[in-house]
Amino acid sequence: MQYYNKQHNYYCGIDLHARTMYLCILDSKGDVKLHKNLKTSPDALKKAIEPYLDDLVIGVECMFSWYWVADFCKDNNIKFILGHALYMKAIHGGKAKNDKIDSYKIVSLIRGGTFPQAFVYPRNMRATRDLLRRRMHLMRKRAELLSHVHNTNTQYNNDRICKNLRYKSNRKLVEGRFADPSAQKNVDLDIELINYYDKLLVEIECYIQKHAKINDYQSYMLLKSVPGIGKIISLVLLYEIYDIKRFPRVQDFASYARLVKCRAESAGKSYGTSGAKIGNAHLKWAFSEAAVIFLRGNPKAKAYIEKMTKRHNKGKALSILAHKLGRAVYFILKRKQAFNMDKFLPA
């Protein structure tokens, strides 16, 4: 975790909400220059900070509406920093909590050099990244519907559905499968929704592939050289990582992608792991998905998973494979080299 510790004449902390924002501005001595609740609009913000623009930094806790503040600062040549919400314990751990107190805590963290920074994602790529994340949400909803069909089939003790229902032609096996009309109607609704989700996902994927802004086309092609990483997962990785130079070491990248667990220790005693929710959940999904697809038609990978399963279990074995893929992707992007199966899984 990086902390912002640069010195300025003025520091501005904003407790940001959808319709209101509470501003607190301190000078270099720690004196309060402004402490006011305003409407969330660029004009109101510009008017409030105008007397302090000679050397000002603005800090906001990472929440869903920070985009416009970052763009406002970029347009007006103001230093902007984004706070990592899960690391800002001083804001959420107080006895009394309100917008006025929170804004003062934010600006105090900035002035004191203990403001935990999150990455400020570039403006021109945010919309496509958000659309890729929305596609992931739709994929999960579709998977829930497929699971519900299988669960309902098991609930009524019917014969197992042997074919994969993610293919539209296999969904005919569900027609007239249940004696109870209400149970059949329940499953038919699932199938109709799955068909609709398929249509939406095809449209979204075509749109993304047509409009995605790939700054480094070489990296895109190198990622596709990895078995299990196709067009969409390559785009997810590129948009979520943005620039591999953000991560000095492969360990930093693996931690950011939630591919490793951190030990919690104190006074020589181990308390398990911590920080499971800190990192990029979308990268975690991409590598987990790639690990499963990596096994298809890959005898060498299947032999490796069988060996890891004997040592651990199936879930842990897949996590280890996802971690190995994450490390491979890091070095592929860092060294600009294509994937090599012999190096990845030596004999």
What tens digit of pLDDT does each residue of 250-263 get?
Answer: 999 999 999 998 88
Q: Are residues 204 and 284 in the same domain?
A: no
Task: Assign residue 94 the CATH number of its domain.
Answer: 3.30.420.40
248-256: long-range pairs with CB below 8 Å, 24+:
250/327, 250/330, 250/331, 253/326, 253/327, 253/330, 254/323, 254/326, 254/327, 254/330, 255/279, 256/280, 256/283
73 contacts 80 by C-beta, under 8 angstroms: yes
Within a domain: residue 105? yes
**pLDDT given for residue 190 in this prediction:** 96
Residue 19: C-alpha distances to residues 38, 81, 136, 158 (Å) = 9, 21, 29, 53
Within a domain: residue 270? no
Q: Are residues 140 and 242 in the same domain?
A: no
Q: Which of 86, 118, 150 is the last residue of a domain?
A: 118
- Of 109, 127, 103, 83, the C-alpha closest to 20 is 103
Within a domain: residue 246? yes
Q: Are residues 293 and 312 in the same domain?
A: yes
Q: Give the structural domain span for 31.
A: 3-118
**pLDDT given for residue 141 in this prediction:** 96
Within a domain: residue 269? no
Q: Which of 193, 213, 233 is the last residue of a domain?
A: 213
pLDDT tens digits for 20-38?
A: 999 999 999 999 999 999 9
**Alpha-helical segments (H) within 30-163:** 42-49, 67-75, 89-92, 99-112, 123-155
Q: Are residues 176 and 71 in the same domain?
A: no
Burial class (CB in 10 A: 0-12, 13-18, 19+), 197: middle
| Tens digit of each residue's pLDDT, the chain (347 residues) | 789 999 999 999 999 999 999 999 999 999 999 999 999 999 999 999 999 999 999 999 998 899 999 999 999 999 999 999 888 876 666 778 899 999 999 999 999 999 999 999 999 999 999 999 999 999 999 999 999 999 999 999 999 998 999 899 999 999 989 999 999 999 999 999 999 999 999 999 999 999 998 878 999 999 999 999 999 999 999 999 999 999 999 999 999 999 998 888 888 788 777 777 889 999 999 999 999 999 999 999 999 999 999 999 999 999 999 999 999 999 999 999 999 999 999 87
Q: Are residues 209 and 223 in the same domain?
A: no
**pLDDT given for residue 86 in this prediction:** 84
Q: Are residues 248 and 297 in the same domain?
A: yes
Q: Are residues 130 and 188 in the same domain?
A: yes
Q: Are residues 239 and 329 in the same domain?
A: yes
**pLDDT given for residue 90 in this prediction:** 65
**pLDDT given for residue 51 in this prediction:** 94
Q: Which of 173, 190, 213 is the last residue of a domain?
A: 213
Q: Measure the CA–CA gap between 43 and 52, rounded to whole angstroms.
A: 15
CA dihedral 55, 61, 65, 69 (to 10 degrees): 0
Phi, psi angles (nearest 5°) of residue 262:
-100, 135
**pLDDT given for residue 132 in this prediction:** 95
**pLDDT given for residue 338 in this prediction:** 94
Q: Are residues 232 and 281 in the same domain?
A: yes
Within a domain: residue 304? yes
Q: Are residues 328 and 239 in the same domain?
A: yes
- b/e sequence 30-46, b meaning 16+ C-beta within 10 Å: eeeeeeeebebeeeebe
Q: Are residues 291 and 336 in the same domain?
A: yes
Within a domain: residue 110? yes
Domain count of the fold of the chain: 3
Q: Are residues 209 and 224 in the same domain?
A: no
